[in-house]
Amino acid sequence: MELEKELSESQGAKLKEYLDRGIHNKLHLHPSDYRRAAVILYRANQLGYTSIGFKQLLSGGKYSEYSDMTIESLQHMSDAFTDLMYGSNNYENEELKNLEL
DSSP 51-76: ---HHHHH--SS--SS-HHHHHHHHH
C-alpha to C-alpha distances, 41 to 2, 60, 100, 101, nearest whole angstrom:
16, 19, 26, 27
Which among 88, 91, 70, 5 is positioned nearest to 44, based on CA atoms? 5
Sketch the domain layout of the chain as residue ranges.
9-92
Which among 92, 99, 4, 96 is positioned nearest to 48, based on CA atoms? 4
pLDDT per position as a tens digit, 10-29: 999 999 999 999 999 999 99
- Report pLDDT for 98: 86
* b (16+ CB within 10 A) / e for 88-99: eeeeeeeeeeee
CA dist., res. 9 & res. 72, Å (int): 21
pLDDT per position as a tens digit, 48-88: 999 999 999 998 666 689 999 999 999 999 999 999 999 98
CA dist., res. 27 & res. 24, Å (int): 9
